Amino acid sequence: MKTGKPFIILFFFLSQIVSAQFPPAAGQAGTTAIHKDSSVFVAWATGCDVIRGPIDIMDFNGEKASYGEVSNALGIAEGNSVDVVSLGDMGQATLTFDVDIADGEGWDFAVFENALNDTFLELAFVLVSSDGENFYEFPAVSLTDQFVQIPTFGELNCTKINNFAGKYRQGYGTPFDLAEVIGGQGLDLQKITHIKITDAIGCIQNQFASFDSEGHVVNDPWPTPFETGGFDLDAVGVINTSNTGIKENEISVLVFPNPFVDRFTIRFHKPENAVLEIFSAEGQLIFVKEITGKADVGFSDHTPGIYLIKIQYDDEVFLKRVVKSR
């Protein structure tokens, strides 16, 4: 009987390794979760296009997910349950930035979802592009049981999930390293301009299932036949950028922070007066001021959203989008 003990012990430890394949939940030793207030974030998404999916993939032409405004995905992560945009089954969000994301040291960006806790998780695939047309997917892995459907309010174990957005609870981003993407023609890892988030559906029925990079069926809470169905996108935060990727004009101008809450600062290299104008997303002029070299702009009286800054000096014009967060 003694000869069987080593085998039993080995089997136990191997089973533990299999069941705890990937990093654990936020706050636990070894997690990769990044809090929304971390200083590693240098920029956030400033543009977003959403294609909503159905609330139930079995009725593809039926009711679409409808919760949240697209603008909820812009700017700093809120880390709550309400300031999100719901994608529905197989829905997509494509995000753009005022900087190019680059493959640097460690994690390069993080995606935030609104999961209430560490186990009620809704997953999404993450893809990147350098031209907005050709997208390449992170090699996501799901080791969750493929044969028993996770029910609508069921639980997932995040240690069985890797390279899926939605791995961590609200307020904590799931980070991604561009070095893990298997690129192709046209993909420049030092010039990522677009990030696409695609809901993973979660249904295990073959005709409606999605599959991970290893061919496993992706199983997460399903069905979710509500206006909030599918992946609920909060934000995408940028960690590493390309120094050559800043989209600015001939005038050398620095605007920070962006996104901002109540105020932001402008610095530019011209010592003489320039004219600062700020326009709403609808094109309405809402602010005019002469500035010299540096200006602190208070903006607490304006509603959250996207604004356009225009700085004119002689014949030179600088334009930049800024985002006022909630």
Give the model's pLDDT for residue 269.
Answer: 67
Strand partners, 49: 94
The span from the CA of 89 to the CA of 92, in Å, is 9
The span from the CA of 93 to the CA of 103, in Å, is 22
For 155-202, the pLDDT digits (tens) are 999 999 999 999 999 999 999 999 999 877 889 999 999 999 999 999
Confidence of residue 317 (pLDDT cuts 50, 70, 90): confident
Structure tokens at 319: 């334009």
User: String of b and e for 300-321 (b: at least 16 CB within 10 Å)?
Assistant: eeeebbbbebebebeeeebbbb
CATH code linked to domain 22-238: 2.60.120.260
Give the model's pLDDT for residue 60.
Answer: 94
Confidence of residue 270 (pLDDT cuts 50, 70, 90): low
What percent of the chain stands above pLDDT 70?
89
> CA angle, 37 as apex, 79 and 324 as ends, to 5°?
75
Domain borders along the chain are 22-238, 253-324
**Residue 25 pLDDT > 80, yes or no?**
yes
- Average confidence (pLDDT) over 74-91: 95
**Residue 244 pLDDT > 50, yes or no?**
no
Confidence of residue 41 (pLDDT cuts 50, 70, 90): confident
Better-predicted residue by pLDDT, 60 or 270: 60
The span from the CA of 130 to the CA of 178, in Å, is 12
Give the model's pLDDT for residue 15.
Answer: 44
DSSP symbol at 241: B
Confidence of residue 8 (pLDDT cuts 50, 70, 90): very low
Give the model's pLDDT for residue 49.
Answer: 97
For 293-307, the pLDDT digits (tens) are 788 899 999 988 888
**Residue 250 pLDDT > 60, yes or no?**
no
Q: Does domain 253-324 have CATH number 2.60.40.3080?
A: yes
**Residue 255 pLDDT > 90, yes or no?**
no
Mean per-residue pLDDT of the chain: 88
Give the model's pLDDT for residue 177.
Answer: 96
**Residue 313 pLDDT > 60, yes or no?**
yes
Give the model's pLDDT for residue 105.
Answer: 86
The alpha-helical segments, DSSP class H, found in the chain are: 5-19
